[in-house]
Amino acid sequence: MTDVRKLRILIVDDQSAQTGALCDVLRQYNYEAEGCVSAEAAQQRLQTHSYDLMLSDLNMPGLDGISLVKAALQRDPDLACIIMTGEGSIASAVRAMQAGALDYIVKPFKASSLLPVLARAQSTRALRIANAELERQLRLNVIELAEANYRLEQARTAAEQASTEKSRFLSNMSHELRTPLNGILGFAQILAADKLPATQLEKQRFARNIVQSGQHLLKLVNEILDLARIEAGKVPLALEAVDLPAVLQECRMMVTPLAAKHDISLGFGAVPQLRLRADRTRLVQVLINLLSNAIKYNREQGKVAVACSEKEGKRLRISVTDTGPGLEPDQVQHIFQPFNRLGRDEEVEGSGLGLALTRRVVEAMQGDIGVDSKPGQGSTFWVELPLAQETSQQVQHA
Ligand SMILES: Nc1ncnc2c1ncn2[C@@H]1O[C@H](COP(=O)(O)OP(=O)(O)OP(=O)(O)O)[C@@H](O)[C@H]1O
Ligand SMILES: [Mg+2]
């Protein structure tokens, strides 16, 4: 059984006998009726109580019915107001309706003629409320639609961007693959030709060139495959607690010959006894990439410094700072793009894949990578990775 709420009605008439009689009659018809003998009293009542309907006399000493309807509707726009008027003042009743009353009834009246007026007003009120709710729903739907459109547009832009990047990647890749391949074919054709190079020494030089181009090609193909596999999420990462001092020591050993070759001094600051949550082999790959860049793109007798610092959220930052040419802001924007060598193709050997690969590896390990650089002074490439769980516990106990 549903519990139907009684309709609440406020009756306003300066003739208290009339007010009382109306209340009694309406209570019999299952209304929750209350009476006020002035518009001022009704206004006060409306401040603390809410009603479905208000039945008000038009002419009252003090505030009249029209002003009361206006004030009541300002407070509750859904209140259904009906004006009671004497025979002579129908024109005023029309004014009351213009002020927002839903109907009027001419006095004197019988309960049988009042009840349909009240029912009509109540259904108009219910319709208005339902209408407002529909409008609200409509507005919500419009907002949701606009949001969905915005997300769709963003996804479309992202897809377009990804497709442009893929095309650029493919065209760069074929260019990069063609260069060493042409070298191999060119030298091999000379060796295979009838007119062989005159000396054994020349033959050896051509063969060495073939080997070098072959090695370069192999490195390229390996890196491209690695990049593609990481992008496809097909590289299983063995995330474990990696000892920071040990890993940095290993990297140091690995890059020392390159640093010596370029006459660059390596400085590893104090390394905290911490453990990172990372794939050890991949972490070494990341650090070697950053260190070899810092050595390759440096000035004569330059320096490379490695520093570690703990960051918020149980993370550790490893920074590699060089004394090289530094990077302009627009170079920083493009430096992680595959094959983008920032115009250094001739100066220094490389394929332009190191940083692109590094970034994807770092992100796959839930890390971040970035660069701070001052043109003319040098750059700092940094990676941030999560600390291993038990590391932070050890530190807390220490
Ligand atoms: N520390 C640095 N200082 C200045 N420029 C840098 C630095 N590191 C990288 N670069 C620039 O960014 C480009 C891209 O670097 P990335 O490591 O991706 O490729 P690469 O070193 O050219 O080739 P490889 O694939 O062998 O690493 C480099 O060619 C170089 O111009
Ligand atoms: Mg590199």
For residue 123, tell me if it sits in a domain: no
Question: Is any ligand 1 atom within 6 A of the Cβ of residue 327?
Answer: yes
Q: Name the band, by pLDDT with cuts 50, 70 and 90, for residue 341.
A: confident
pLDDT of residue 393: 41
Whether 371 and 319 map to the same domain: the answer is yes
Let me know if residue 250 belongs to a domain: yes
CATH code assigned at 22: 3.40.50.2300
Residue 394 pLDDT exceeds 50:
no
pLDDT of res. 397? 35
Distance, in Å, from the CA atom of 397 to the CA atom of 73, rounded to the nearest integer, reads 68
Of 93, 109, 125, the last residue of a domain is 109
Helices (H), the chain: 16-28, 39-48, 65-75, 90-98, 111-192, 200-231, 244-261, 280-296, 329-334, 354-364, 389-397
126 in a structural domain: no
Same-domain status, 182 and 262: no
Do 83 and 187 have their domain in common?
no
Whether residue 355 has its Cβ less than 6 Å from ligand 1: yes
DSSP bridge pairs for 309:
317
Per-residue model confidence as pLDDT tens digits over 166-177:
898 899 899 889
- For residues 15 and 103, state if they share a domain: yes
* Same domain? 268 vs 343: yes
Does residue 125 belong to any structural domain of this protein?
Answer: no
Is 309 within the bounds of a domain?
yes
Atom of ligand 1 nearest to the CA of 298: 3
In this structure, the strands spanning 368-374 and 378-386 are antiparallel
How far is C-alpha 211 from the geometric centre of its chain's CA atoms?
49
Residue 334 or residue 396, greater confidence: 334
pLDDT at 395 over 70: no
With respect to residue 140, please indicate whether it lies within any of the assigned structural domains: no
For 58-111, write each residue's pLDDT tens digit: 999 999 999 999 999 999 999 999 999 986 677 887 888 898 999 999 988 998
The answer to whether position 197 is within a domain reads yes
How far is 256 from 157, CA to CA, in rounded Å?
Answer: 45
Pick from 195, 214, 231: which residue ends a domain? Answer: 231
How many Cβ atoms sit within 10 Å of the Cβ of residue 278? Answer: 29
CB 350 less than 6 A from any atom of ligand 1:
yes
What the block records as the tokens of 391 is 């590391």
Which residue's alpha carbon is nearest to atom 29 within ligand 1? 341
Residues 217 and 77 in one domain: no
Q: Are residues 244 and 287 in the same domain?
A: yes
Whether 28 has a pLDDT exceeding 70, the answer reads: yes
Which is more confident, 56 or 172?
Answer: 56
Domain membership flag for residue 139: no
Number of domains in the chain: 3
Q: Tell me if 371 CB under 6 Å of ligand 1.
A: no
pLDDT of residue 396: 35
Ligand 1 atom nearest to CA at 335? 12
C-alpha 377 – ligand 2 centre gap (Å):
19
Give the β-pairing of 53-57 and 265-268.
unpaired
Mutate to test the pocket of ligand 1, among 255, 355, 371, 382 (most ligand atoms within 8 A of CB): 355
Q: 195 lies in which domain range?
A: 163-231
Atom of ligand 1 nearest to the CA of 381: 1
Q: How far is ligand 2, taken at its centre, from the CA of residue 379, in Å?
A: 14
Q: What is the mean pLDDT of the chain?
A: 91
Question: Which atom of ligand 1 lies at the shortest distance from residue 343's CA?
Answer: 31
Same domain, 376 and 303: yes
Mean pLDDT of 297-319: 96
Asked if 269 and 377 sit in the same domain, the reply is: yes
Say how far apart CA 267 and CA 308 lie, in whole Å: 12
From atom 1 of ligand 1, which residue's Cα is the shortest distance away? 294
Q: 354-364 vs 280-296: helix axis angle to the nearest 10?
A: 150
From 231, 249, 283, give the residue that closes a domain.
231
On the question of pLDDT at 206 being above 80, the answer is yes
- Structure confidence at residue 2 (pLDDT): 46
**Which atom from ligand 1 is nearest to the alpha carbon of 293?**
8
- Per-residue pLDDT, 372: 97
CATH of the domain at 268: 3.30.565.10
Long-range contacts of 204-209 (CB under 8 A, 24+ apart): 209/183
Same-domain status, 71 and 204: no
CB distance 379 to ligand 1 below 6 Å: yes
Has residue 342 got a pLDDT over 60? Answer: yes
267 shares a domain with 335:
yes
From the CA of 335, which ligand is nearest? Answer: 1
Considering the domain architecture, whether residues 268 and 390 belong to the same structural domain is answered as yes
Does the Cβ of 227 fall within 6 Å of ligand 1? no
Check pLDDT > 80 for residue 49: yes
